[in-house]
Chain A
Amino acid sequence: MMLTVSRLSAGYGQVQVLREVNLTVAPGEVLCLMGRNGAGKSTALKGIMGLVRATGGEISLNGVRIDTLPAYKVPGLGIGYVPQGRRLFSELTVAENLQIGLAVRGHDADRLEHVLALFPRLRDRMGQTSGSLSGGEQQMLAIGRALCVEPAVLLLDEPTEGLQPSMIALIQETVLKLRATGVATVVVEQRVDAALAISNRITFLVNGRSADTVATRDMSPVDPLFARYVGI
C-alpha cells in the first residue's frame, strides 16, 4: 500500500510541532526520517497513527484519507507501529503483548508463527512479563507485536536506540526482509550508517517541516546533508 502524507500539520494542544510535512512511501520501500531533536520525527509517526490529531493537511493510504478516522481504527487498515522507547505493556507477558497485536485483525496462528520464526528467542519467553526482558528482547517484542498486525505499512521509531551491535544488525536484517516482502516502511533513525544500510530514501525534517528528500544510493556517510540537517 502507498502511504502519502501531504502538508501535514499537527501538535500537542496549542503547541504546533508539524508544519506542512510531506512524505510518501511505496510498497517494498524504506523511507528514513532524519532531523535534529525536536524536528518532529516522532510526532510525524504519531500523526500518521492518529495519536496526534492533524490540524491540517492529509494522510492517505492508497488514495483513501485516514486522518479523519479515530486512532483506534488506523491499525486495522494494516499499519503497524513500533513507538519510541518500545512502549510495551510491561506487566503483560510476551504472549499477551503479541495477542494484543494479533487481535487487531483477528487472531491468526500462522501470523504468530511467522513472528516467532523471525524472533525465535521470544518463543522461550512467552510466559515472561515484557518488563523483565533485556533491551534487545524488548525491541524484538515491540517489532513482533507490530508485525502481528500483518502490516502493509510499518512505522518504526528509533528501533536501534540503545541496542548492542549484534541486536542492531538483527533489527536491520529484519527491516530488509520485510522490505523484500513488499512492506512499506517509515523509520525514524538517528544513526547515519543505519539509515544508509536500510533505507531507499531519506526525508530530512527541520522544525516540523520536511526539507530535502534524497535517495540513499546517491549519498555517502559524510554527505554534507547530514551535517546540515542532523548535525553529524
Chain B
Amino acid sequence: MDFGPFLLLASLEGLVMAAVLALTAVGLSLVFGVMRVVNVAHGEFFMLGAISAWFVVDLVPGPAALGFAAALIISPLLVGAIAAIADMTILKRLHYEPEATIVATIGLLYIFQQLALTFYGADARPVEAPFSLRIQFPWFGYSGYKLAVIAASVVVLVGVWAFLTKTRAGLVMRATQLDRETAQAFGINVDRVFAGVFALGAALAATAAVLVVPIQQAHYLMGGDPLLLSFIVVIIGGLGSLRGTVVAALLIGLSDGIISVFFSPTLAKIIATLLVAMVLVFRPQGLFGRRPA
C-alpha cells in the first residue's frame, strides 16, 4: 500500500481511539472539574460498562443489534447508578477531601476488579457488533462499525456539551464547579450535584466501553489502559477543561494510531508520556486549563 492510503488507514484507527478516549476522558475531567476528585476508579467504570454490556447482549434474545442497543442504554444507567451509590456512601462521607478520595477510589478500583473477576470470570469475551458493514475505499476496506463509533462519540459529546450549556441542570453543575459555597447560598444541593456528576462521568466511561467492546473484548483488567490514557489526555488538555480534553484526546488518539501503525504501539505510548511530562514542566495547567489564582 502507498504512503497516502496507509496514512489514511492509520488516521482512521487513530480517530476511533480518539473518539472512545474523548468520551472516557470527558467523564474523568467532569468529575475533577466539578468535584475536585481524582477518580482512580474511572477505568473500572469503563470495565463495568464493557462487562455489563456483555451480560446484557447475552441476556437479550434476538438479533445482535437489539442486544447491543439495550446494552447502550442499560450499561451506562447501571454503571451511573453504581457510581452515584459509591459517591453517596463513600466520597460524601470523606467530605470530598482530595487525599482521602484518591485512596478511596483506589480501594473502589480493587473492589470492582475483584467483583468482576468473581462474577464474570478471568476470560476475555467478545461482544458481537450490532451490524457488519465494510466501507470500501479505493485502496482498502474499512469497518463501518468503527466509523459508527466515531459518529456515536461525536453525538454523545455534543449532547454533553448541550446538556452543560443549555439546560438548568448543566447550569447548576457549572455554578457548583465555579464556587460550591456560593452555589449552596443559592439553594443548590451540592451533594446531589456531586452524585449526579459522578454518575454522569461513570456513565460516559461506560458508554465508551459499550461502543468499543465489539472491537476489543470485555475483560476484568481492561480498565487500566483507559484510565492511564484518560489521565494523559486530561493533564494535556487541562484538568477540568472539557474543550481541552476533547482536543487532547484527538491529539493523543491520532498520534497513537499513526505512530502505532507506522512504528510501534510502545513508541506511541512513550511519546504520549513524554508529552505529558513536557506539559507538566512547561504548562502545568494544561493546554486549555487556567492557572490557579
Partners in one complex: yes
Q: Which of A81, A92, A104 contacts B174 (CB 8 A)?
A: A92
Instruction: Contact check, A72 vs B187: say whether CB atoms are below 8 A apart.
Output: yes
Minimum CB–CB distance from B99 to chain A (whole Å) comes to 16
Is A51 on the interface with B (CB-CB < 8 A)? yes
Interface stretch among B110-118, B131-139, B178-186, B252-260?
B178-186
Shortest Cβ gap from A149 to chain B (Å): 7
The reply to whether A91 and B182 contact each other, CB–CB distance below 8 Å, is no
CB of A145 closer than 8 Å to a CB of B: yes
Q: Which residue of B lies closest to A79 (CB)?
A: B185
Residue A211 is within 8 A (CB to CB) of chain B in the complex: no
Q: In the assembled complex, how far is the CB of residue B194 from the closest CB belonging to chain A, in whole angstroms?
A: 12
Asked if B182 contacts A89 (CB within 8 A), the reply is yes
Determine if A71 and B185 form an interchain contact, defined as CB atoms under 8 angstroms apart: yes
Tell me if B271 counts as interface (CB < 8 A to partner A). Answer: no
Work out how many contacts link A and B, with CB atoms closer than 8 A: 60
Which B residues are in CB contact (< 8 Å) with A99?
168, 171
Q: Flag whether A35 is at the interface (Cβ < 8 A).
A: no
Contact A104 B178 (CB under 8 A): no
Identify whether the interface residues of B are mostly helix, strand, loop, or mixed: helix
Indicate whether A103 sits within 8 Å of B184 (C-beta atoms), given known contacts A87-B179, A90-B178.
no
Q: State the CA gap A172–B175 with chains docked (Å).
A: 28
B185 touches A96 (CB 8 A): no
Give the contacting residue for B190; candidates A72, A81, A89, A149; CB below 8 A: A72
> How far does the Cβ of A150 sit from chain B's closest Cβ, in whole Å?
12
Q: Cβ of A81 and Cβ of B185 under 8 Å apart?
A: yes
How many Å lie between the Cα of A83 and that of B188 in the bound state? 16
Q: Report yes or no: B178 in contact with A89, Cβ–Cβ below 8 A.
A: yes
B143 at the interface (CB under 8 A from A): no
A89 to B184, CA, bound (A): 12
Minimum distance in angstroms from B76 CB to a CB of chain A: 27
Give the Cβ gap from A111 to chain B, nearest Cβ, in Å.
Answer: 14
A residues 35-92 in Cβ contact with B at 8 Å: 49-51, 70-76, 81, 83, 87, 89-92
Contact among B168, B175, B178, B184 for A72, CB-based, below 8 A: B184
* A75 near B186: Cβ-Cβ < 8 Å: yes
What per-residue 1/0 map shows which CB atoms of A134-178 lie under 8 Å from chain B?
A: 000000000001000100000000000000000000000000000
B187 in complex: contacting residue of A90, A92, A104, CB < 8 Å: A104
Point out the residue from A90, A91, A103 that lies within 8 Å of B186, measured CB to CB: A103
Q: Is B189 on the interface with A (CB-CB < 8 A)?
A: yes
Whether, in the assembled complex, A197 has its beta carbon less than 8 Å from a beta carbon of chain B, the answer is no
CB pair A83–B182 under 8 Å, yes or no, is yes
A42, chain B: closest CB distance, angstroms: 12
B residues near A92, Cβ cutoff 8 Å: 171, 174-175, 178
Query: A90 contacts which chain B residues (CB < 8 A)?
Result: 178
Given contact pairs A72-B189, A75-B186, A103 touches B174 in the complex (Cβ within 8 A): no
Chain B residues with CB under 8 A of A101: 186
Is A100 among interface residues, defined by CB-CB distance under 8 A? yes
Among B160-218, those with CB < 8 Å from A are: 168, 171-172, 174-175, 178-179, 181-190
Report A-chain residues with C-beta under 8 Å of the C-beta of B184.
Answer: 49-51, 71-72
Q: Which residues on A sit within 8 Å (CB–CB) of B189?
A: 70, 72
Q: Is the CB of B188 within 8 A of A91?
A: no
* Bound-complex Cα distance A101 to B175 (A): 11
Q: Are B174 and A87 in contact (CB under 8 A)?
A: no
For B171, B172, B186, B188, which residue has the most chain A Cβ atoms within 10 angstroms? B186
Taken together as a complex, chains A and B put the C-alpha atoms of A72 and B178 apart, in Å, by: 16
Q: A74-B185, A103-B186, A103-B187 are in contact. List 7 more A-B contacts (CB 8 A).
A: A51-B184, A70-B189, A76-B187, A89-B174, A89-B178, A100-B171, A104-B187
Interface positions of B (Cβ within 8 A of A): 168, 171-172, 174-175, 178-179, 181-190
8 smallest CB-CB distances across A and B, nearest first, come from A104-B187, A71-B184, A87-B182, A75-B187, A89-B178, A72-B189, A81-B185, A72-B184
A selection of 23 A-B contacts at a CB cut-off of 8 Å is: A50-B184, A72-B187, A72-B188, A72-B189, A74-B185, A76-B187, A81-B185, A81-B186, A83-B182, A83-B185, A87-B181, A89-B178, A91-B174, A91-B178, A92-B171, A92-B174, A99-B171, A100-B172, A100-B175, A100-B186, A100-B188, A103-B186, A104-B186
